[in-house]
Amino acid sequence: MSPNQALTDRSIQESIADTVASLLRFQGIEIWEKRSPVETPSADLRVILQLDAAHPDNPDLNGIAVFYPSHLQSARLAQLLHKTILRTIDIRSQGVQSVHQETTNPETANPETADPETADPETADLETSQMTDTGIPTVYLTVGFVGGREDSINLGNAEYRDCMAQAIATGILKYIQTAL
């Protein structure tokens, strides 16, 4: 995002997260916001949204990236969110990766046999400290790249953020309907 832009990374993230939470609450889903403890005993899944600021000088790095701990249900949640977002929004993909930087093809993925040699070096160093395997299906969803030419324009648009939030909420609902 340019320094002159009124929106901050945090406000963009919160805008998307708040809309996702509202959409899910409307569907009767109980939501614990970001400041809730991870160990909430009745939590069924966890989705962490972020903007990637690790590559501010690379205007060609745009799109979504999805990370998950080495847990089968986390991999399924990651794949479903990724696929749902890509079917809803015209956006680039930086892939779906385990915290071990195993990249998987969202269309043909087998989370148990991903090839670590295909990891994308541009996204491999994204911070994944929150991605410890808690036993709860968890994904770390990068909704855009701060320095990305396309992302900085798209994420500055409220309608685009609402579409992103709708896609995320839809993916979460699909996961809940099929896995829980």
CATH fold, domain 44-112+124-179, is Aminopeptidase (3.40.630)
Structure tokens belonging to residue 58 = 């690379």
pLDDT at 10: 86
Q: Which residue has the tokens 């790095």?
A: 61
Structure tokens belonging to residue 59 = 């205007």
Weakest mean pLDDT among 14-23, 41-50, 98-107, 134-143: 98-107
Rounded distance between C-alpha atoms, residue 134 and residue 146, angstroms: 29
Out of 33-42, 63-72, 99-108, give the one with best mean pLDDT.
63-72
- Note the pTM of the prediction, 2 decimals: 0.78
- Residues in a beta bridge with 50: 142
> Looking at the predicted structure, is the pLDDT value of residue 143 above 90?
yes
